[in-house]
Chain A
Amino acid sequence: MYVAVKGGEKAIDTAHDLLAKERRGNPDIPEIATAQIAEQLTLAVDRVMSEGSLYDRGLAALAIKQARGDLIEAIFLIRAYRTTMPRFGYSEPVETSRMTIRRRISATYKDLPGGQILGPTFDYTHRLLDFNLETEGPAQPEIGSSVSRPADAHMPRVLDLLGKEGLMEPPDGASAARDNGDGKVGDLTREPVSFPADRDVRLQNLARGDEGFLLALGYSTQRGYGRNHPFAGEVRMGEVRVEFVPEELGFAIEISEITLTECEMVTQFKGSKDVPPQFTRGYGLAFGHCERKTMSMALVDRALRADELGEERQAPAQDEEFVLSHSDNIQATGFVEHLKLPHYVDFQSELELLRKMRAEIAKAHVEAAE
């Protein structure tokens, strides 16, 4: 009996077997292939790559399969794999204005250089279940030649257009003045975060942060908890080249092409005695096609700039320690779920104290009655 309470090795092995069985489901149904996940559950793959901080569609698909579709579990698998990989160096900054655009919209201008490109989006679909998909699904639609013409090679950023007029603060905002001087970008996976954090580390934290958490925080700023009057200046999605300078070559070579989503929010202006009023920025960037994530990230990034822009910090979304300490879903899920681990010893200690306190009160009552 006593041993049974404590569980043990056999129980773990059996649990793993049961898990494998559940994952496979009914063996009469064909097993899902990771290539199918990579090709047909692309947005799940994108989220796992983004929050897992590892750009590899194949591994992300494998993680999703192994995690039975639990995306946070899949992100966890990717993070644990990523941590063991050697670090060769850092790529050159990617140039998103030279992105091969598949989608690009601006909510601030009706038309603009490069045009509005809707691309693959749920935005204007009616959310009606398509029962055709229950069976084989419809044939691949033909994309008309007029639609498939390539977008302009160079798409100026909307915020740069505003910047030329002096209406927009520079990309680094006031934080450029606070640069630690070495020009290096922080990396919270190599250095523990200390507060106050710089914007580079903040953005890295948000890029890895849980989509749901950022969505709720971003939403809260729209509802008055740290309002910053945002406009979606631009959302763009497409492919960018990744370049790397190997030490032995000394010049940049292209090593890969990755899909990115970028969002730049135009937010409320500020001015001071010396600087006339300007729009301010919030920035979001993620691997793959992650619009909800990047938009939320941009809202929260802007909210977290409260100190820098001389705004009073009142709302949760403006509170750097609160946001950065709780955005990581792998940390959060681990600590919440660790409550499932045994706590008999601590609980026993509490029981003992509670019984003692109750006995003392009961004794005091008896004495008072006498």
Chain B
Amino acid sequence: MTRGQTYNFAYLDEQTKRMIRRAILKAVAIPGYQVPFASREMPMPYGWGTGGVQVTASVLGHDDVLKVIDQGADDTTNAVSIRKFFQKTAGVETTTETANASVIQTRHRIPEEELRADQILVYQVPIPEPLRFLEPRETETRTMHALEEYGLMHVKLYEDISRHGHIATTYAYPVRVNARYIMDPSPIPKFDNPKMHRMAALQLFGAGREKRIYAIPPYTQVHSLDFEDHPFEVQQWDQACAICGAEVSFLDEIITDDAGGRMFVCSDTDFCNKRSGSTAA
């Protein structure tokens, strides 16, 4: 390649995309299983969405319409940066409207609006291994998955309850996919976990630094881990969104002054804009 020449469609070369698509196919075939892949070095830092970007680059076609969100919002700086990256390298149409997107790359949220079968949701994943903080060694955790040996995780959740009265995990709350693999849903709030269950859209997860891809095929069973006497429950707010009045969405807390003043607003900006009838922020 001569210097200054433009990059391939969606940045990655075709061989790399094919390698990633193969990993994705394997991931779809074994729901919740972490497939190792030869993650490339991307022009954005590790931990800032390199896995999601590689997955998006591999599934993106010329006719796709891309939406990128971070913390639910289209206008957060990293979402803007990744959207610009694909505008520049793939020239695809982009949107902020959930319903209009065919591919949605997300960090830390699932859109409030129900996704359809013709959409793909791509998650950015920092630590793909749900057992990592219980067992730091990859050699060990892979064996535990292979043997379906998940006792350690249940003990951890039980200890939470005995110590705090609650399962003290509020985001990246572990799920069991298709009654087999325990999977890290990426650091989405547990509020979003139920949306993963039997979702019509294909869900793909990319972890660039850790070199893993995993997937939840459409309409797959996704169960958030819990106990019979301590069933899984999601966060609730006493308030409604201060802008659109929604009572069913995940709310961000905004500090408005230094005297304890605060307001709560939807974290999903598209959802909020639509409800309040305002144009894009």
Q: Which of A190, A321, A335, A352 contacts B137 (CB 8 A)?
A: A321
Minimum CB–CB distance from A185 to chain B (whole Å) comes to 15
Q: Is B75 a contact partner of A2 (Cβ separation < 8 A)?
A: no
| Residues 255-281 (chain B) with a chain A CB within 8 angstroms | 256, 265, 267, 269, 281
A348-B253 contact given A334-B48, A341-B48, CB 8 Å threshold? yes
Is B90 in the interface zone, CB < 8 Å from A? Answer: no
Contact bitstring B151-182, A, C-beta under 8 A = 1, else 0? 00000000000001110101110000000000
Q: Which of B45, B81, B166 contacts A334 (CB 8 A)?
A: B45
Q: Is B46 a contact partner of A343 (Cβ separation < 8 A)?
A: no
A330-B36 contact given A321-B137, A349-B190, CB 8 Å threshold? no
Query: With contacts defined as CB atoms under 8 Å apart, how many contacts are there between chain A and chain B in the complex?
Result: 153
Q: Which of A76, A344, A349 contacts B235 (CB 8 A)?
A: A349
Q: Is A356 a contact partner of B139 (Cβ separation < 8 A)?
A: no
Total interface residues in chain B, CB < 8 Å? 64
Is A107 in the interface zone, CB < 8 Å from B? Answer: no
Q: Collect the chain A residues with CB atoms within 8 Å of residue B165's CB.
A: 357, 360
Give Cα A85 to B13, complex, Å. Answer: 9
Q: Collect the chain B residues with CB atoms within 8 Å of residue A353's CB.
A: 166, 168, 170, 235
Minimum CB–CB distance from A171 to chain B (whole Å) comes to 28
Is A86 in the interface zone, CB < 8 Å from B? Answer: yes
Is B185 in the interface zone, CB < 8 Å from A? Answer: no
Q: Collect the chain B residues with CB atoms within 8 Å of residue A335's CB.
A: 46-47, 126, 209
Is A97 in the interface zone, CB < 8 Å from B? Answer: no
| Residues 287-331 (chain A) with a chain B CB within 8 angstroms | 321, 325, 330-331
Q: Is A349 a contact partner of B191 (Cβ separation < 8 A)?
A: yes
Give Cα A6 to B264, complex, Å. Answer: 14
Q: Collect the chain B residues with CB atoms within 8 Å of residue A348's CB.
A: 189, 250-253, 267
Is B217 in the interface zone, CB < 8 Å from A? Answer: no
Is B147 in the interface zone, CB < 8 Å from A? Answer: no
Q: Collect the chain A residues with CB atoms within 8 Å of residue B256's CB.
A: 1
Is A5 in the interface zone, CB < 8 Å from B? Answer: yes
Is B115 in the interface zone, CB < 8 Å from A? Answer: no
| Residues 1-52 (chain B) with a chain A CB within 8 angstroms | 1, 7-8, 11, 13, 36-43, 45-48, 50
Is B202 in the interface zone, CB < 8 Å from A? Answer: no
Q: Is A192 a contact partner of B191 (Cβ separation < 8 A)?
A: no
Is B77 in the interface zone, CB < 8 Å from A? Answer: yes
Q: Is A337 a contact partner of B47 (Cβ separation < 8 A)?
A: yes
Minimum CB–CB distance from A282 to chain B (whole Å) comes to 24
Q: Is B37 a contact partner of A344 (Cβ separation < 8 A)?
A: no
Q: Collect the chain A residues with CB atoms within 8 Å of residue B191's CB.
A: 349
Minimum CB–CB distance from B124 to chain A (whole Å) comes to 10
Minimum CB–CB distance from B211 to chain A (whole Å) comes to 4
- Of all chain B residues, the one with the shortest Cβ separation from A320 is B139
Is B206 in the interface zone, CB < 8 Å from A? Answer: no
A84-B108 contact given A192-B38, A357-B166, CB 8 Å threshold? no
Minimum CB–CB distance from A309 to chain B (whole Å) comes to 20
Q: Which of B75, B170, B243, B253 contacts A6 (CB 8 A)?
A: B75
Q: Collect the chain B residues with CB atoms within 8 Å of residue A350's CB.
A: 170-171
- Of all chain B residues, the one with the shortest Cβ separation from A356 is B166
A343-B45 contact given A195-B139, A351-B253, CB 8 Å threshold? no
Q: Is B47 a contact partner of A334 (Cβ separation < 8 A)?
A: yes
Minimum CB–CB distance from A342 to chain B (whole Å) comes to 5
Please tell me which stretch of B66-74, B97-105, B223-231 contacts chain A, meaning at least 4 of its Cβ atoms lie within 8 angstroms of it: B66-74
Q: Is B253 a contact partner of A345 (Cβ separation < 8 A)?
A: no
Is B111 in the interface zone, CB < 8 Å from A? Answer: no
Q: Collect the chain B residues with CB atoms within 8 Å of residue A5's CB.
A: 254
Minimum CB–CB distance from A31 to chain B (whole Å) comes to 20
Give Cα A40 to B37, complex, Å. Answer: 40
Contact bitstring A1-12, B, C-beta under 8 A = 1, else 0? 111011111011
Q: Is B171 a contact partner of A83 (Cβ separation < 8 A)?
A: no
Query: Which 6 A-B pairs have CB atoms at the shortest separation, nearest pair first?
Result: A334-B46, A338-B47, A334-B45, A349-B170, A335-B47, A80-B43
Given contacts A1-B256, A12-B81, A344-B267, 10 further A-B pairs with CB under 8 A are A6-B75, A12-B77, A85-B1, A189-B38, A192-B38, A336-B47, A343-B71, A345-B188, A345-B252, A360-B165
B contact residues vs A (CB 8 Å cutoff): 1, 7-8, 11, 13, 36-43, 45-48, 50, 70-73, 75-78, 80-81, 84, 107-109, 126, 136-139, 164-166, 168, 170-172, 187-191, 209, 211, 235, 237, 243, 250-254, 256, 265, 267, 269, 281
